Amino acid sequence: MAGAWIMLPAVLLIGGLIGASGIGGVLLVPVLTNFGAVSLPQAIAAASLGFALPALVALKPMLRQRELVVRCMPLLIGALVGAVTGALTVHWLSARTLMMGVMLLVLFAGWRGLQSPAIAAQAAAPLNIPVLFMMGVLVGCGSALTGTGGPVLIIPLLMLMRQPVAFAIVAAQAIQLPVALASSAVHALEGRLDFRLALICGLLMLIGAFFGQRAAAGLDVRQLRRMVSILLLAAGGWFAWILLA
């Protein structure tokens, strides 16, 4: 029971990190399994649906910036395809291997993001539609397999390709919705989805995401990049601890 009381504020904090940086969801499955004594398949399924609610927080900034909506569409469509594929094949692949790959990716991206500000400030040209679509497929598939929600994969990839931080964060928040809907539908059909647990997690993360987004609004681009990079390193460290424990 004590673990459950720790789990609730932890999920609320995860929502705050999602709203502020887009990557807090990487911690949800470990929190559910370690503090809530939830089995890994159920935790992945509940996380998949739970991410749909905080994803709604991303709609407001996207509606204010029409160009971001257009740029995100190939990612979102690809993520929808990838999430279905990942949820259908979740039992065929080693979760440990997948999580190890995620850990290495986020650690490298976090390290690179803390490098020279001059290098970090040099944004590359926008990615074309086929590249964004294939990136969405990859992220959707990986997210459905690991229950990480999407941002922990898409942010490192976009940062490594030197895309603007503002676009990376909005895309990371928005990509949660197609991943959540597609993967949770498959999990529900296969009997792994606990709707009550998913709703509790989703509501807590929605509240946290709202306040997290407001808290991050006063940060400039350099502060935001540094914060995201530090969070990526922390997430990678958390994965390392889980994998090696």
Q: What is the pLDDT along the chain (245 residues), one digit of tens a residue?
A: 445 567 888 899 888 887 777 677 778 888 888 788 888 788 888 988 888 887 776 666 666 766 777 788 899 999 999 999 988 887 777 767 777 877 887 787 778 777 655 444 556 778 889 999 999 999 999 888 877 778 778 888 887 888 887 788 778 777 888 888 888 888 888 888 899 999 999 999 999 988 887 877 776 667 776 777 887 888 888 878 878 87
CA dihedral sign, ordered 11, 17, 20, 21: negative
**What is the pLDDT, as a whole number, of residue 119?**
44
Termini Cα distance of the chain: 23
Task: Tell me if 18 sits within 8 A of 25, measured CB to CB.
Answer: yes
pLDDT score, position 8: 85
Q: Helical H runs in the chain? A: 2-21, 28-34, 40-50, 52-55, 59-64, 66-88, 95-113, 117-120, 129-146, 151-160, 165-174, 176-189, 195-216, 221-244
Cα 220 to Cα 123: distance, rounded to the nearest angstrom:
16
Residue count (the chain): 245
Burial class of residue 105, CB neighbours in 10 A (0-12, 13-18, 19+): buried
**pLDDT of amino acid 2:** 45
Domain ranges of the chain: 2-244
